[in-house]
């Protein structure tokens, strides 16, 4: 049974046989579910500040809860 990987940028699940794996010179491995995630990572965007990512949604909910 194959492992389900998590996207490095958005935190979404990557099914076996899909997505991209990037191995950097320092040996770190990054998994991307789509080119959208890969390009956002290249541009240096922060996932928790991006609204559509899992961490971005959690951050927005946390801020909303603190306002109450």
Pairing status of strand 20-23 against strand 29-32: antiparallel
In contact, 6 and 14? CB cutoff 8 Å: yes
10 marked as binding residue: yes
35 marked as binding residue: no
CA 57 to chain CA mean position, Å = 12
7 marked as binding residue: yes
37 marked as binding residue: yes
Return the H-helix or E-strand segment holding 29.
strand 29-32
Known binding residues = 7, 10, 33, 37
Known binding residues for Zn(2+) = 7, 10, 33, 37
């Amino acid at each position: 049974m194959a492992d389900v990987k998590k996207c490095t940028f958005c935190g979404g699940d990557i099914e076996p046989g899909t997505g991209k794996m990037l191995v950097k010179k320092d040996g770190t491995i990054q998994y991307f579910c789509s080119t959208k995630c890969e390009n956002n990572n290249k541009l240096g965007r922060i996932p928790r500040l991006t609204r559509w990512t899992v961490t971005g949604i959690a951050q927005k909910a946390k801020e909303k809860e603190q306002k109450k």
